Amino acid sequence: MIEKPLTSIDSYIAYFSQQALPVLRSTVRELDELRADEENVSGRRLAAVVLSDPLMTLRVLSYLETHRGVQQNHDITTIERAIMMLGVSPFFAKFSDLPTVEAQLARHPRALLGVLQVIGRARRAANWAHDWAIIRHDLDVDEVTVAALLHDAAEILCGCFAPTLMLQIAQTLQAQPGLRSATAQKDLLGFTMYELQFALVKAWRLPELLITLMDDTNAASPRVRNVVLATRLARHAAKTWHDPALPDDYTDISELLHMSVEQLVHRLGVPEDAPIRKDGGSAA
């Protein structure tokens, strides 16, 4: 475990690169169940299990890039194509006896709760991004889904391997409600989670397309904006639908999808008493 801040982003990348990435216990259980019926398992069914876990998704994509064979002459940007490239049986052989997040953080229950919450947020963002990509008739919905799922992977990794530091950041934010997360991160670590995320996916040679889709500075692109807005909405709605930042999110998302705010909040299932406009107008 990292108990004190390391000296640089490169130090964190070197550290993470030496660790066996844990995955959710539920992922291990589901993979074991599929392995028992390996001959009848489809790539799509296996991909669904992987995509329910951002750490497992990161494991698969980074493995594929670091073990790139001569026959792989193009980037693999979705999990289903990654499994097709590997084959179902080799997949099970390469991803067995996986460490779990729950075991990793067994002595850090508060940190475990925090990591599970961020993973839940990532799943929610991926689901929204997938839905909106379909509405937008995106060229490859699965790429947008993966990018949204992995957008905050660095935060999950730090929660797993530097739980004390992440709790310190959480306590600072709780003590100073108006403080931005990025400021608290930079004050303690010397950089933001976004900066670490970008450096990490570059160092692990994730496909350039996915890196572009996760890069908030490219938000002029509708595909990137899809990812950015899904992750932003998931963050703001994580605790309550009454977060004051949500009305701006609804406006931006409705513009992206070319639908009214009222149609959008109905599709999202926003409670009727929640404000949907800056003036306090509700979804009723």
Q: How confident is the model at residue 211 (pLDDT cuts 50, 70, 90)?
A: very high
- How remote is the C-alpha of 94 from its chain's centroid? 23
pLDDT tens-digit profile of 240-272?
999 999 999 999 999 999 999 999 999 999 999
User: Which pairs from 47-53 meet CB under 8 Å and 24+ separation?
Assistant: 47/78, 47/79, 47/80, 47/82, 47/83, 50/79, 50/83, 51/79, 51/126, 51/145, 51/146, 51/149, 52/24, 52/26, 52/27, 52/123, 53/23, 53/24, 53/26, 53/27, 53/119
What would the mean pLDDT of 146-170 be, rounded to a whole number?
Answer: 96
The neighbouring-strand residues paired with 275 are 282
163-175 and 181-189 helices cross at what angle (nearest 10)? 130
Q: pLDDT confidence of 83, banded at 50, 70, 90?
A: very high
pLDDT band at 16 (very low <50, low <70, confident <90, very high): very high
pLDDT higher than 70, residue 85? yes
Q: Write down the residue that tokens 């450096």 correspond to.
A: 199
Helix axis angle, 181-189 to 193-203, nearest 10°: 70
Gap between the Cα atoms of 177 and 211, Å rounded: 31
pLDDT band at 207 (very low <50, low <70, confident <90, very high): very high
With 0-12 / 13-18 / 19 or more C-beta atoms within 10 angstroms meaning exposed / middle / buried, residue 273 is: exposed
Residue 284: pLDDT above 70? no
Percent over 90 (pLDDT), the chain = 89
Average pLDDT, the chain: 93
Give the residue-averaged pLDDT of 105-130.
97
Q: Are 199 and 9 in contact, with CB atoms under 8 Å apart? A: yes
For the chain, what are the domain ranges?
20-100
Place of tokens 């779990």: 100
β partners of residue 31: none
